[in-house]
Homo-oligomer: A and B are copies of this chain.
Amino acid sequence: MLKTRTKSKFKEFLLNQGLKSTQQRELILEEFLRAGSHLSTEDLYLRLRKKNPRIGYATVHRTLKLFAECGIAEQRHFGDGQARYEASDQDEHHDHLICVTCGRIVEFEDPRIEQLQVEVAAEHGFSIERHRLELYGFCSDCRQA
């Protein structure tokens, strides 16, 4: 999604919820969109501190939760005990490949897998609302080493 589009979506959300548009929230969204995906609260907090030391961890934390609530970000857990956030691609869904050596995270999408998931769930009487698929292994760089 376009950055401007995302920003206005957030502002609209704030308005609807009776929340206020503040300097911090704008800065945080700005940096969140600039930075790559899969950042932890800590990651984003540190990036923001470099440019603006007067920003608190709690605010970053709360704002990321707002992003998730608003639908412009999604929270993820990759097993290292830290929550990470990524910008949502709206309708576009994707899963993750994670290199267990270097920590590199690659996104992918495969409609065939998605289809099979629906089928398998149905066989067990389930209807799927969402799913999580993570493949852990070695990326090309780390396999050679």
Q: Which residues of A contact B (CB under 8 A)?
A: 77, 79, 97, 99-100, 106, 108, 110, 112-113, 116-117, 120-121, 123-140, 143
Contact = CB atoms under 8 A, between A and B. Distances in A.
B137 A126 contact: yes
Contacts of A108: 120, 123-124
B124 A113 contact: no
* 3 tightest A-B CB contacts, nearest first: A125-B140, A128-B137, A129-B137
A109 to B, nearest CB: 9
A133 B131 contact: yes
Interface-central residue, A77, A108, A116, A120, by most chain B CB under 10 Å: A120
Contacts of A100: 129
16 contacts: A108-B124, A110-B116, A112-B116, A113-B116, A121-B137, A124-B139, A125-B140, A125-B143, A126-B137, A126-B139, A127-B137, A129-B138, A130-B136, A130-B137, A131-B134, A132-B136
Contact of A135 (B99, B112, B117, B143): B117
Given A110-B116, A113-B113, A143 B127 contact: yes
A140 B120 contact: no
